[in-house]
């Protein structure tokens, strides 16, 4: 059936217009559990008996030296990499190791990579609209049929990301920071329960960093946010709990003050002048 035919079928709700369900069971307080997770690449243990719990609504920062396993950990959570051993649960109901990448995304885990990948030839508004559509070819038709719900969500996300004034601007003319916020906004359109954000402030000005700190801390509570970041000033400005990864395991966990006073952390990471 053509996209046009699908859109003219008035008697059913289309998947891309349906509200995202959140069947995640967080009654025990945690939204993500990694237990004894290990993965090796050519005999090298990139993740080594990793244990990590993220609470529902929490903002967690993950730091650690190059090669500590931060990206691999994100890849495991999103289903891009399968661990050799261990378990990974989203709430207490969903075993993520039985699901593929699209299913994990559909459950409500959004991932923001370091480099922004917005559609530069489209406006800010259209980028957000497109983030709602599963089928990226339907944009022009979708605009005509856009429900009030989607318009309201776009307005909410424009407000959250501080991009209201730029709603009609082409994404291509945005600053680096604004593009990063737009991309976070695109993820927010799907109302994720857990957002994984990789080095959000790399290449940003001081002012953009402050705005990003406000944005991420504002999201916590409504959703859980895991931020991987090397910029210690930024981590200090947003962090409640910091996890330090080293050689694929948790080396230390606590407040920024606690981990930065930890001699093991100073030795393997902070002592590098990071």
Ligand X SMILES: Nc1ncnc2c1ncn2[C@@H]1O[C@H](COP(=O)(O)OP(=O)(O)OP(=O)(O)O)[C@@H](O)[C@H]1O
Least CB distance to ligand X at residue 104 (A): 18
Q: Please name the residue that has the structure tokens 């006073």.
A: 261
Q: Please name the residue that has the structure tokens 């966990």.
A: 253
Interface with ligand X, residue 72, by CB under 6 A: yes
Which stretch in 62-70, 105-113, 142-150, 219-227 sits in contact with ligand X by CB under 6 A? 62-70
- Tell me which DSSP letter residue 223 carries: B
Q: Which of 38, 48, 53, 71 binds ligand X (CB under 6 A)?
A: 71
Interface with ligand X, residue 262, by CB under 6 A: no
Terminal-to-terminal C-alpha distance of the chain: 55
3-state secondary structure 202-243: CCCCHHHHHHHHHHHHHHECCEEEEEECCCHHHHHHHCCEEE
Interface with ligand X, residue 46, by CB under 6 A: yes
Q: Please name the residue that has the structure tokens 């990448």.
A: 101
Interface with ligand X, residue 67, by CB under 6 A: yes
Least CB distance to ligand X at residue 62 (A): 9
Q: Which is nearer to ligand X, 70 or 211 (CB)?
A: 70
Least CB distance to ligand X at residue 240 (A): 21
Burial class (CB in 10 A: 0-12, 13-18, 19+), 110: buried
Interface with ligand X, residue 70, by CB under 6 A: yes
- Tell me which DSSP letter residue 164 carries: G
For ligand X, the binding residues (CB under 6 A) are: 41, 46, 64, 66-72
């Amino acid at each position: 059936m053509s996209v046009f035919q699908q859109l003219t079928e008035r008697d059913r709700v289309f998947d891309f217009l349906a509200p995202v369900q959140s069947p995640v069971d967080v009654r025990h307080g945690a939204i993500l559990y990694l237990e004894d997770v290990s993965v090796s690449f050519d005999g090298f243990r990139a993740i080594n008996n990793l244990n990590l719990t993220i609470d529902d609504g929490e903002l967690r920062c993950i730091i650690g030296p190059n090669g500590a396993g931060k990206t691999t950990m994100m890849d495991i959570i999103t289903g891009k990499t399968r661990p050799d051993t261990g378990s990974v649960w989203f709430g207490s109901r969903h075993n993520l190791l039985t699901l593929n990448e699209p299913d994990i995304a559909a459950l409500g885990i959004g991932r923001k990579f370091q480099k922004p990948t917005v559609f530069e030839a489209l406006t800010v508004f259209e980028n957000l609209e497109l983030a709602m559509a599963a089928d990226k070819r339907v944009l022009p038709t979708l605009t005509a049929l856009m429900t009030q719900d989607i318009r309201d969500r776009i307005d909410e996300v424009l407000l959250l990301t501080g991009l209201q004034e730029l709603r009609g601007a082409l994404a291509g003319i945005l600053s680096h920071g604004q593009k990063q916020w737009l991309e976070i906004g695109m993820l927010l359109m799907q109302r994720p329960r857990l957002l994984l954000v990789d080095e959000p402030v790399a290449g940003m000005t001081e002012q953009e960093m402050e705005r990003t700190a406000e944005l991420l801390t504002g999201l916590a509570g409504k959703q859980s946010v895991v931020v991987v970041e090397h910029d210690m000033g930024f981590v200090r400005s947003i962090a409640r709990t910091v996890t330090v990864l080293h050689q694929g395991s948790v080396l230390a966990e606590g407040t920024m003050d606690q981990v930065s006073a930890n001699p093991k952390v100073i030795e393997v990471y902070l002592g590098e002048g990071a």
